[in-house]
Amino acid sequence: MSENISLSLDVQISGGPKISASQNIQVEAYDSIKVTIRGTGDASGADTDKEVEVQPGGTGQVSLLTITSNRYDSGLTYKVNSNANPGIELDKPHVLAGQGAVGLLDAAAPTSLFFSSAIAENAEIHILVGRKAT
């Protein structure tokens, strides 16, 4: 049985053009993950390379990946699959729809994200993954 994810996008420049798009994405499974990334002001110390497993499958399994937060900052970063690659700043919501877009993150399937924080406040991260299950 498949799940239907509705995706809508509206981008408007003040006094300029507007781009709108909407599409349904069919997936076999989805995962909704909520995790707290500790900031430098936390008594336990800031998180560095905190691993969050996002999906167990192989290449081509993920067709939707969204990463949102209650805080956006260049000091809040994540890495894909390994703590060896450069961090990606979570300075705005990240929405990757389609295998082509998700493939930009890593040639291999994104199975884990590693979050680090250099900001004072804790960040509440919400990750939504749409994927094949077979």
**Tokens coding 87:** 């961090």
Q: Report the C-alpha gap between 99 and 62 in whole angstroms.
A: 6
pLDDT at 42 over 70: yes
pLDDT at 109 over 80: no
Number of domains in the chain: 1
What pLDDT does 16 receive? 96
Q: Report the C-alpha gap between 30 and 132 in whole angstroms.
A: 8
Task: Please say whether the beta carbons of 76 and 69 come within 8 A.
Answer: yes
Within-domain flag for 120: yes
pLDDT digits (tens, 9 = 90+) for 53-103: 988 877 788 999 999 999 999 999 999 987 677 789 999 999 999 988 988
Backbone φ, ψ for residue 102 (5° rounding): -65, -35
Within-domain flag for 4: no
Within-domain flag for 81: yes
Within-domain flag for 64: yes
Within-domain flag for 5: no
Residue 99: which domain range? 29-131
Within-domain flag for 22: no
**Tokens coding 95:** 């929405």
The CATH number of whichever domain residue 68 belongs to comes to 2.60.120
Taking residue 91's Cβ as centre, other Cβ atoms within 10 Å add up to 13
Confidence band (pLDDT; 50, 70, 90) for 37? very high
Confidence band (pLDDT; 50, 70, 90) for 110? confident
**pTM, to two decimals:** 0.91
Within-domain flag for 87: yes
